[in-house]
């Protein structure tokens, strides 16, 4: 049984990975796969830099874990992710047979665990995943909020600079 302090330890690692995504201009989401108390996979968002729409943090962490473990089935593993997974990532979690999902912040627009959909509760799924939501939610949410606030400021600044160029008199 994993304790709350262990969950926070691994979520802190996922947050560190999220900061790596932020540093390269990606939406700051990080994910870690833990099996038998050890990190076996890690990833952060990279769809833009990787020109890969599937390069979400969760997918990258699951791929890394499967390669390291030598099996695409990760039964007994826990996936820690800073943001509630989308439908694509929930599908990958089920297919990889992750036993437990721990996430930080809710994703109201695309979250497929609790927010926009409750995909893991669909009765036709052949694998059940234990879910712990809201671990370090405030910190995880703050990272995302700050990223999008900064992005909106940058867009406004570019628009302002762009509109100012043509308005000056000769």
Known catalytic residue at 26: no
How far apart CA 15 and CA 137 sit, in angstroms, is: 11
- Which one of the listed residues 26, 58, 107, 114 is annotated catalytic? 58
Which residues, other chains included, contact 132 with Cβ-Cβ below 8 Å and sequence gap of 6+? 7, 100, 101, 102, 103
Whether the CA torsion 117, 119, 121, 123 is positive or negative: it is positive
Tally Cβ neighbours within 10 Å of residue 121.
12
The DSSP element (H or E) to which 126 belongs, if any, is none
Q: Burial, 68: exposed, middle or buried (Cβ in 10 Å; 0-12, 13-18, 19+)?
A: middle
Residues with catalytic function: 58
């Amino acid at each position: 049984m994993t304790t709350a302090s262990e969950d926070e330890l691994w979520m802190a690692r996922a947050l560190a990975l999220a900061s790596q995504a932020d540093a390269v201009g990606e939406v700051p989401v990080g994910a870690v796969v833990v099996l038998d108390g050890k990190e076996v996979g890690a990833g952060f968002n990279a769809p833009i830099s990787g020109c890969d729409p599937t390069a979400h943090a969760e997918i990258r962490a699951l791929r890394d874990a499967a390669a390291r473990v030598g099996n695409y089935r990760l039964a007994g593993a826990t996936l820690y992710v800073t943001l509630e997974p989308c439908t694509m990532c929930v599908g990958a979690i089920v297919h990889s047979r992750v036993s437990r999902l721990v996430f930080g912040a809710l994703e109201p627009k695309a979250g497929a665990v609790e927010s926009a959909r409750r995909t893991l509760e669909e009765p036709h799924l052949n694998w059940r995943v234990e879910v712990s939501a809201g671990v370090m939610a405030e910190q995880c949410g703050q990272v995302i909020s700050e990223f999008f606030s900064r992005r909106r400021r940058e867009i406004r600044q570019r628009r302002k600079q762009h509109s100012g160029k043509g308005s000056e008199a000769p």
